[in-house]
């Protein structure tokens, strides 16, 4: 019980005192933290791309499977540089350094998402009525206008009203719109700085959209808050609001609505939103909140009742079997998990 209380008191980047990405505990070089983002994780693709059976699992550098929802830390560990505590200014910089899981590369149309209801939460195509889902091109844009993904170890509780919007959460990790210049890959894990947030109200649910930039972007040093986006990327925020307002209209749905009249909130506000969602995730992983159909299987949060061993995780992945008749209509294609 004492251990559990200590875990629940830990704040940002809660890792339950476990090894992250196969690295032993101890000092971590700040330079290495920034430079080895994707080196810590790699993808394992199963099934055929652009089909309902396609899944992207994540592994750490040791080759162990993990959940991109639960096992990747929210924040980057940066308490020391070359074994020496960092200066205060350096620590302040790292207060706004988060891991982001990329689901959808910029300029693409296929809707991909972390499968919150499946074991180890692979990234999968969004399927509705047996058909793959794609966003329409909203003139003058092509597909998603940012690299789109989520912050791990966050959860927007569908049973808890957001104090800022008075609507409950959307039952997913917090979404991130990464505005850097590089087109990223599905399943890539990058370090981002949070710049602000937009409160989308999607079918009566709060759906926060964080604005962030890859710390390895050549211009990342220019961006430290939401006003910097207005200054250095004029029109991007307006395009973001317009895209989210209209992207469902081609499906015959009404325009989306926003809290705060579509006004972007700044970095400080966004960090509080993240902190709240991280607390909800911690309660979820400790069975203090009802997660409904969410699958909380994890390999890193050892005091969680949902924890599994590396061997069990590998068995879960290997037991995934897809039965796809390539000749039949997409609506007749099915996927299932053996033994689950």
Structure tokens at 230: 């207005």
Confirm if 264 and 226 have CB atoms less than 8 A apart.
yes
* 252 occurs within a structural domain: yes
Confirm if 200 and 212 have CB atoms less than 8 A apart.
no
* 124 occurs within a structural domain: yes
Dump strand ranges (E) for 226-270. 257-258, 265-266
pTM given for the model: 0.82
Query: Which residues 6+ apart lie within 8 Å of 253 measured at CB?
Result: none
SS3 at position 91: helix
CA–CA distance, 31 with 34 (Å, rounded to integer): 5
* 112 occurs within a structural domain: yes
* 237 occurs within a structural domain: yes
* 323 occurs within a structural domain: no
Phi, psi of 229 (to 5 degrees): -65, -40
Query: Which residues 6+ apart lie within 8 Å of 49 measured at CB?
Result: none
CATH value at residue 157 = 3.90.80.10
* 188 occurs within a structural domain: yes
Nearest C-alpha neighbor of 173 from the set 28, 294, 39, 52: 294
- Residue 251 belongs to what domain range? 41-318
CB atoms within 10 A of CB 332: 10
Structure tokens at 244: 């989210």
Confirm if 87 and 16 have CB atoms less than 8 A apart.
no
Residue that has been written with the tokens 């400080």 in this structure = 268
Q: Which helix (H) or strand (E) holds 200?
A: strand 189-202
CA–CA distance, 60 with 103 (Å, rounded to integer): 17
Please tell me the total count of domains within the chain. 1
* 249 occurs within a structural domain: yes
Confirm if 334 and 323 have CB atoms less than 8 A apart.
yes
Work out the angle at residue 63's Cα, subtended by the Cα atoms of residues 62 and 69, and round it to the nearest 5 degrees. Answer: 100
* 98 occurs within a structural domain: yes
pLDDT in 10s for each residue of the chain, 340 residues: 343 333 333 334 444 333 233 333 333 333 333 444 456 899 999 999 999 999 999 999 999 999 999 999 999 864 433 333 344 445 556 789 999 999 999 999 999 999 999 999 999 999 998 899 999 999 999 999 999 999 999 999 999 999 999 999 999 999 999 999 999 999 999 999 999 999 999 999 999 999 999 999 999 999 999 999 999 999 999 999 999 999 999 999 999 999 999 999 999 999 999 999 999 999 999 999 999 999 999 999 989 999 999 999 999 999 874 433 333 344 333 333 333 3
Q: State how far Cα 213 lies from the chain centre.
A: 14
């Amino acid at each position: 019980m004492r251990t559990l209380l200590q875990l629940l008191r830990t704040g940002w980047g809660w890792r339950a005192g476990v090894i992250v990405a196969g690295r032993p505990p101890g000092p971590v070089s700040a330079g290495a933290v920034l430079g080895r983002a994707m080196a810590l994780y790699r993808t394992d693709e199963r099934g055929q791309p652009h089909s309902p059976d396609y899944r992207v699992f994540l592994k750490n550098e040791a080759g162990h499977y993990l959940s991109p929802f639960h096992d990747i830390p929210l924040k980057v560990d940066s308490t020391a540089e070359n074994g020496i505590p960092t200066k205060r200014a350096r620590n302040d910089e790292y207060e706004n350094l988060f891991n982001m899981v990329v689901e959808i590369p910029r300029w693409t149309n296929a809707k991909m998402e972390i499968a919150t209801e499946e074991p180890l939460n692979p990234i999968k195509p969004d399927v509705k009525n047996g058909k793959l889902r794609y966003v329409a091109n909203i003139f003058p844009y092509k597909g998603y206008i940012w690299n789109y993904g989520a912050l791990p170890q966050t959860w927007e509780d569908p049973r808890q009203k957001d104090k800022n919007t008075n609507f409950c959460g959307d039952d997913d990790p917090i979404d991130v719109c990464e505005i850097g210049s590089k087109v990223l890959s599905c399943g890539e894990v990058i370090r981002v700085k949070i710049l602000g947030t937009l409160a989308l109200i999607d079918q009566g649910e709060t759906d926060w959209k964080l604005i962030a930039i890859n710390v390895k972007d050549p211009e990342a040093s220019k961006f430290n808050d939401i006003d910097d986006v207005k200054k250095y990327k004029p029109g991007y925020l307006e395009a973001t609001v317009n895209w989210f307002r209209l992207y469902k209209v081609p499906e015959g749905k009404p325009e989306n609505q926003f809290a705060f009249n579509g006004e972007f909130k700044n970095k400080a506000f966004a960090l509080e939103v993240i902190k709240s969602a991280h607390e909800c995730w911690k309660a979820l992983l400790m069975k203090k909140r009802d997660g409904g159909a969410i699958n909380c299987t994890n390999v890193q949060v050892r005091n969680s009742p949902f924890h599994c061993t590396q061997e069990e995780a590998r068995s879960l992945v290997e037991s995934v079997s897809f039965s796809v008749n390539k000749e039949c209509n997409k609506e007749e294609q099915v996927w299932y998990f053996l033994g689950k």
